[in-house]
Amino acid sequence: MENWNLRRRAAVLLGILLLDAAMFGTAMGVMRAETSSEEVRAAGVQEMVPETADAPSFVALTFDDGPDPVCTPKLLDGLKERGVHATFFLMGQSIPGNEALVLRMKEEGHLIGNHSYRHIQLTKAREDSVCEAVEQTEELIASITGERPQYLRPPYGDWNENLECRMNLTTVFWSVDSLDWKLQHTSRIVRRLEQSVGPGDIILMHDIFPTSVEAALQIVDSLQAKGYRFVTVDELLVD
């Protein structure tokens, strides 16, 4: 009986010791956590807070049929003032005599694409002729910039799989048509774009009309004020 009492006392004592150890460990853990937090604050390190700001909305502004000796320089001036890069799909027959404009586009960070040599429906021409026209425009651009364009916008968006297979170019169409060639009225073009453009859109315009240049710069101001950022189509497609 005495042995049993001794064992009972030993068990109770062991339980008390284990409980004390557990409480001591918990207290030490709290102290370590408080010390760590104080050390962080003392070092001037702020705790990470999830960002709540909305990501910027990206759009691509694109221009076909240039370069134009009158309109394109005004457009380039306006884009440079605003820190905006655009994409220019050049018409081969418009390049001779405007080589300085093409070089300026590259030097100022714009993307240069191919718009074939003449503004014709490519699917209605012989495939060999289409390839020759695109190649001719590529060579003109490369002779000025030192780089062959990698992106093609077919006139009228007229394209098919057979042509796709024959050319090592990425075709780029559009998601918002400004109809600037038809409207040729600055405020109407701007109003149409403000009602249509959303994040990720590729905007189709032409740098051969004065009203298009005016509308393009106005829409840049309007969309930038709303938090939009303008990028070239290669940046938009990669993102």
Q: Which of 85, 110, 115, 206 is catalytic?
A: 206
As beta bridge partners, residue 61 has 203
Amino acid code (one letter) for 175 = S
Give yes or no: 206 in active site.
yes
Residue 80: C-alpha distances to residues 22, 32, 108, 138 (Å): 69, 56, 8, 25
Q: Which of 64, 68, 180, 201 is catalytic?
A: 64
User: Beta-carbon neighbour count of residue 29 at 10 Å?
Assistant: 10
User: Beta-carbon neighbour count of residue 219 at 10 Å?
Assistant: 25
Rounded CA separation 188/183 (Å): 7
Q: Which two three-digit tokens encode residue 14?
A: 């062991």
* CB-based contact 85:111 (threshold 8 Å): yes
Give yes or no: 64 in active site.
yes
Q: What is the DSSP letter of 55?
A: P
**Buried b / exposed e across 138-170, counting CB within 10 Å, b at 16+?**
bebbeebbeeebebbbbbeeebeeebeeebebe
Q: What is the DSSP letter of 225?
A: H
Which residue's structure tokens are 């001037």?
Answer: 44
* CB-based contact 84:235 (threshold 8 Å): no
Active site residues: 64, 206
